[in-house]
Chains A and B, each alone.
Chain A
């Protein structure tokens, strides 16, 4: 009986791990889409009203959800602090938000690279850089969406199968 409970626990845990990894793959396209939307709001704020960065980040954060809302809110808070330089504030926010997101390292790197020009160039250049990062996010989202279903299914099966194998070996 104990062995049976143990085996069930092993299979259950492995399936859970598989599902978690699978969910992570499914969450990435959603996170990327949310970020792309927040950048679109930022673009509008800069292009139409030349809204100062801190306020533009707050507005983009309010208009978006999930990781994008967190990232933009953190960047605005960091920028408003005593020694707030936009590049540093943005990088800090990206690294903090990344830790609790489904983003891939290449997404994080693209976002960090965007911060180098943030607030330190003309409106025309700033809008071009936002446009570039949005294009990258859209491309990554399209790729991630295609891969997500396939990879997620694989991880779910893998979790359950590995769990069953371990249970069999231990039995």
Chain B
């Protein structure tokens, strides 16, 4: 929903109030001079050391001028200096890089307000694993958007009974609204859907990358429902088991499964009689089913429903809802063929 950020606040206000304070003063002023119309469409701010600052507004890329505002032909672009890149990192980490060590190692920082900043730089490897990212050279600031009601069309198809949801896998390529949909399913499952006679259940979220609830200092910045417990920044596999043992959820929600240990943890959760909703990257059910680590999920027919998303009519376009066991198309989206193509 362009123009609206978290909690219905206009996006340009969200950027000015919640994101610009994390940028060095000069850059802050330059972006603040952007027309409100551009800021309200902005989804990402791209900062790359030694290169121009860009705003991604819908399908447009807008370069920030050195004098501030949008660069026109002949204007010098605003180039991020080494000093500014360093200051940006310090400001985003609140002057406490040690407190964000794990997040930086994983390549992101979550700002107050749930805005995620992807980081790139030079990886320092120890025993084959990334120990730390140093010489940070790029920041991809993604403006948090919460689309309340994004799951309205899918809820009737994933509610199994008054206390259970179908084990559901949401499949989509990146930037198609997987996490937005997952977040709203979480909220609705937790708060309940009176129109569907669903009273709301205990929900546990394992938010390894702080994308679903966007916790800042342990407090969810996004609306995830009144019966939702969030295990923030915890590895998925470990977190799922921890949640089942510690807070007895009726539903466990997690994002981007893909490792073998995730699959084992999902089996544990399902065998404990707890519903499971997860997401996976992919174009179709076939794509995901062919991934070596997820093959066993489909061979074991663990998931009952699959929701396919695309960018066809903007982020969050539901291409189809399938019975994941029989691969029968339950609901075909605007491009019904895409969903049918997934069926056998």
Q: Give chain A's interface residues, CB within 8 Å of chain B.
A: 46, 50-54, 56, 79, 82-86, 89, 118-123, 125-126
Q: A83–B24 contact, CB under 8 A?
A: yes
Q: A53–B25 contact, CB under 8 A?
A: no
> What 6 pairs across the A-B complex have the smallest Cβ distances?
A86-B95, A123-B98, A53-B96, A119-B95, A52-B96, A52-B94
Q: Is B90 an interface residue (CB 8 A)?
A: yes
- A residues near B98, Cβ cutoff 8 Å: 46, 50, 119, 121-123, 125-126
Q: B132–A119 contact, CB under 8 A?
A: no
Report the bound CA distance from A141 to B90 in whole Å: 33
| A122 and B97 contact, Cβ closer than 8 Å, known pairs A83-B24, A85-B90 | yes
CB-contact partner of B90 in A50, A51, A86, under 8 A: A86
Q: A82–B25 contact, CB under 8 A?
A: yes
- A residues near B95, Cβ cutoff 8 Å: 52-54, 79, 84-86, 89, 118-119
- B residues near A118, Cβ cutoff 8 Å: 95
- A residues near B87, Cβ cutoff 8 Å: 83, 85
Q: Is B101 an interface residue (CB 8 A)?
A: yes
- A residues near B21, Cβ cutoff 8 Å: 82
Q: Mark B88-115, 1 if CB is under 8 A from A, else 0.
A: 0011011111110100000000000000
List CB contacts (< 8 Å) of B25-49 with chain A. 25
Q: B101–A53 contact, CB under 8 A?
A: no
B interface secondary structure, majority = helix
We find that the number of chain B residues with CB closer than 8 angstroms to chain A is 16
Closest residue to A89 on the B side, CB-wise? B95
Q: A119–B96 contact, CB under 8 A?
A: yes
Interface centre among B21, B93, B98, B101 (most CB of A within 10 A): B98
Closest residue to B131 on the A side, CB-wise? A122
Given contacts A51-B96, A84-B91, 12 further A-B contacts (CB under 8 A): A50-B96, A50-B98, A50-B101, A51-B99, A52-B94, A53-B99, A85-B87, A119-B95, A119-B98, A120-B97, A122-B132, A123-B101
Report the bound CA distance from A89 to B94 in whole Å: 12
List CB contacts (< 8 Å) of B179-227 with chain A. 217
Q: How far is the CB of B117 from chain A (nearest CB, A)?
A: 16
- A residues near B132, Cβ cutoff 8 Å: 122
- A residues near B90, Cβ cutoff 8 Å: 85-86, 119-120
Q: How far is the CB of B69 from chain A (nearest CB, A)?
A: 21
Q: How far is the CB of A49 from chain B (nearest CB, A)?
A: 9
CB-contact partner of B101 in A52, A82, A83, A122, under 8 A: A122
Report the bound CA distance from A125 to B21 in whole Å: 28
Closest residue to B217 on the A side, CB-wise? A52
Report the bound CA distance from A54 to B91 in whole Å: 11
Report the bound CA distance from A22 to B179 in whole Å: 67
Q: How far is the CB of A78 from chain B (nearest CB, A)?
A: 10
Chain A to chain B contacts (Cβ below 8 Å), 22 pairs = A46-B98, A46-B99, A50-B96, A50-B99, A50-B101, A52-B95, A52-B96, A53-B96, A56-B96, A84-B91, A84-B95, A85-B95, A86-B95, A89-B95, A118-B95, A119-B97, A120-B90, A121-B97, A122-B98, A122-B101, A122-B132, A123-B101
